[in-house]
Copies of this chain bind each other. A is one copy, B any other.
Amino acid sequence: MDFLPHTEEDDRAMLEAVGLESLADLFEGIPSDVRLDYPLGIPPALSEPELLDHLAALAGRFAADDSLCFAGGGVYDHHVPAAVRALASRAEFATSYTPYQPELSQGVLQALFEFQTAVCAIYGLEVANASLYDGAHSVVEAVNLALRTTGRARVVAGATVHPHYRQVLQTYTSALGVEVLTAPYDAAGTVDWTAVDMTGAGAVVAASPNVFGCLEDVGAATSAAHADGALAIVVSDPTSTGLLASPGELGADVAVGEGQGLGSPMAYGGPGVGLFATGLEHVRQVPGRIAGETVDADGLRSYVLTLQAREQHIRRARAASNVCTNQTLLAIAAGIHLCWLGPEGLRRLGEVCVTRTAYAARVLGRLPGCRIRFPGPHFKELTLETPIAADDLARRLAGRGFVIGPGLGRWFEDLSNCLLVAVTERRTTQQIDALGEALEKELAEG
C-alpha cells in the first residue's frame, strides 16, 4: 500500500498538463549517471494484515511482555491516564504541523501555553518553553544559556546527575572549548555541594532526586553556584514536584527534567519530552519555541509563537539554539496529565512513590547480603547492593518476570554490585513482595 490517490488516468492528465510523457521524465534534471535504474534493495511491501502480523511478531519477542517493570535510570513505568492518552492522540493534535499559522493552530498553541503554565507552576519559575528533545537536551541547552549569560566556559556537574545527561553534555560542548568538571558523590550518594570548587564556573548542574534515587541538598548547590557567579541548573523529576520543594524555591536559575513520566509510555526511551523553565530575565536566551498570549484583529485573546527572533529560522547562525522540531505532542500530553492530576493528585502521586519505595527498601534491604547502598531520603528509586554482579542479577530476575536495573557498574566502577530499583504508583506492595521472593531465590542460588 503506497497511500497514493493517483489513478492511471490522473497520471496521464497531470503529465500532459506539465507537458511530459512519462513519470521518468520528471527526473530529467538529475544527471543520468547517478539516477537509479533498479529498485532499492529493501524488503518488499506488506499488506496491512501482513504488516500487523509481522510487527506483532517482533513486538511479541519482548521476552517480558507481562513482566513487572521495576527498572529506573531516567525512564519509568508510570500510569498513563486513559483520558490523557485519548486526548493527546486526537488527530487534530497528532497530525498537525508547527503552529506557524495561528488562525489554524489555536488548539496546539493554547495547549502549549497551558503546558508552559503548568511547567512554571511545578518548577516554581516564570517562563517555560514548548519542550526540547529530552532530559539530556534540556541540560545542554540550560548550560548553553548559563555560559552565554555568564560569559564563562566552565561547567560543574554533580556526579549524581544522570550519566547519560553528562555524556550528552560532553558531546555537545566538545566542539566549543567548554570544560566540564564533575563533582564527586559522597558516602550518602549525594554531592556535598559545600565542598565543591566552583571557581570560574558559569554553570552548575545538580540533580534531585539524583541518579541513585536520593534527594540532594539543592539549596546548597544553588547558593554555592551563586556565590561564585554561576547560574544554578537543577534537574528535577516532574513527578516529584507535588511533594518536593520546587527548583525555583531552592534558588535554581534554570530547572530542567525529563517529562516522560507525565503521560507518555516508556517507548524504549523515546519519544520523551525535555522540560525547560527559567526566570523571566533569561527569556531572550531561552531555546526553542514559546507560545505567547496576544489579541487578534478583533481584540480577541489568542495565542502565537512568540520571540521567534531567538530561533534559528530568524537568527540563523546566531540563534540561541538549533532546535526546530521539538516534542510538542508529548508536551501536550504532559500538560493534560498535570491538569488531570492537579495539585492534590500530583502530591498523591509523590506520596505513593515515596511510601512504596520505602516499603521496597525494607523488603529488599533485609535480604541476606543485601543493603540499600545509600540512606536516602529516596523518592521513587533506590540503589540496591547485593552479592551478585548487578547486570547478571538483572538478567536473572528478568527470567523471573521482573524488568529491573540497570546495574550501576556501567556508570560507576565502584558500584558494579549495585542495581537501581524504581517503584512507581503502578507497583503494588504485593508486587514488591513478589520481587523480594524472586530476589531471595536468586540469592539462594548464589
CB-contact partner of A66 in B60, B90, B91, B426, under 8 A: B60
Q: Is A52 an interface residue (CB 8 A)?
A: yes
Is the CB–CB distance between B82 and A48 below 8 Å? yes
Is the CB–CB distance between B86 and A91 below 8 Å? yes
How would residues 403 to 446 of chain A score, 1 for a CB under 8 Å from any chain B CB and 0 otherwise? 00000000000000000000001101000000000000000000
Q: Is A226 an interface residue (CB 8 A)?
A: no
Residues on B with beta carbons closer than 8 Å to the beta carbon of A90: 91
Kindly report which residue of chain B lies nearest to residue A83, judged by CB atoms.
Answer: B48
Is the CB–CB distance between B52 and A79 below 8 Å? yes
How would residues 28 to 72 of chain A score, 1 for a CB under 8 Å from any chain B CB and 0 otherwise? 000000000000000000001100110000001000001000000
CB-contact partner of A425 in B49, B60, B86, under 8 A: B49
CB-contact partner of A79 in B48, B81, B425, under 8 A: B48
| Residue from the set A49, A52, A82, A90 with the largest chain B CB neighbour count within 10 Å | A49
How would residues 363 to 374 of chain A score, 1 for a CB under 8 Å from any chain B CB and 0 otherwise? 000000000000
A52 to B428, CA, bound (A): 13
Is the CB–CB distance between A426 and B49 below 8 Å? yes
Least CB distance from A215 to B in Å reads 24
Residues on B with beta carbons closer than 8 Å to the beta carbon of A52: 79
| Residue from the set A48, A60, A81, A82 with the largest chain B CB neighbour count within 10 Å | A48
CB neighbors of B among A91-142 (8 A): 91
Residues on B with beta carbons closer than 8 Å to the beta carbon of A53: 426, 428
Kindly report which residue of chain B lies nearest to residue A52, judged by CB atoms.
Answer: B79
Is the CB–CB distance between A49 and B91 below 8 Å? no
Tier of interface size on chain A = 10 to 19
Is the CB–CB distance between A81 and B48 below 8 Å? yes
Least CB distance from A47 to B in Å reads 9
Least CB distance from A32 to B in Å reads 37
Residues on B with beta carbons closer than 8 Å to the beta carbon of A81: 48
A79 to B50, CA, bound (A): 10
Residues on B with beta carbons closer than 8 Å to the beta carbon of A49: 79, 425-426
Least CB distance from A410 to B in Å reads 31
CB neighbors of B among A223-253 (8 A): none
Residues on B with beta carbons closer than 8 Å to the beta carbon of A86: 91
A60 to B48, CA, bound (A): 26
Least CB distance from A341 to B in Å reads 12
Residues on B with beta carbons closer than 8 Å to the beta carbon of A79: 48-49, 52
Kindly report which residue of chain B lies nearest to residue A49, judged by CB atoms.
Answer: B79
Residues on B with beta carbons closer than 8 Å to the beta carbon of A48: 79, 81-82
A49 to B348, CA, bound (A): 13
Kindly report which residue of chain B lies nearest to residue A60, judged by CB atoms.
Answer: B66
Residues on B with beta carbons closer than 8 Å to the beta carbon of A425: 49
Kindly report which residue of chain B lies nearest to residue A48, judged by CB atoms.
Answer: B81
Least CB distance from A266 to B in Å reads 15
Residues on B with beta carbons closer than 8 Å to the beta carbon of A428: 53
A3 to B38, CA, bound (A): 60
A90 to B81, CA, bound (A): 18
Residues on B with beta carbons closer than 8 Å to the beta carbon of A91: 86, 90
Least CB distance from A362 to B in Å reads 22
Kindly report which residue of chain B lies nearest to residue A86, judged by CB atoms.
Answer: B91
A428 to B66, CA, bound (A): 27
Residues on B with beta carbons closer than 8 Å to the beta carbon of A426: 49, 53
Kindly report which residue of chain B lies nearest to residue A426, judged by CB atoms.
Answer: B49
Kindly report which residue of chain B lies nearest to residue A348, judged by CB atoms.
Answer: B47
A7 to B428, CA, bound (A): 30
Residues on B with beta carbons closer than 8 Å to the beta carbon of A66: 60
Least CB distance from A443 to B in Å reads 28
A79 to B52, CA, bound (A): 10
A86 to B426, CA, bound (A): 28
Kindly report which residue of chain B lies nearest to residue A90, judged by CB atoms.
Answer: B91
A-B contacts, 12 of them at CB < 8 A, read: A48-B79, A48-B81, A48-B82, A49-B79, A49-B425, A49-B426, A52-B79, A53-B426, A53-B428, A60-B66, A86-B91, A90-B91
A49-B426, A86-B91 given; 9 more Cβ-contact pairs under 8 Å: A48-B79, A48-B81, A48-B82, A49-B79, A49-B425, A52-B79, A53-B426, A53-B428, A90-B91
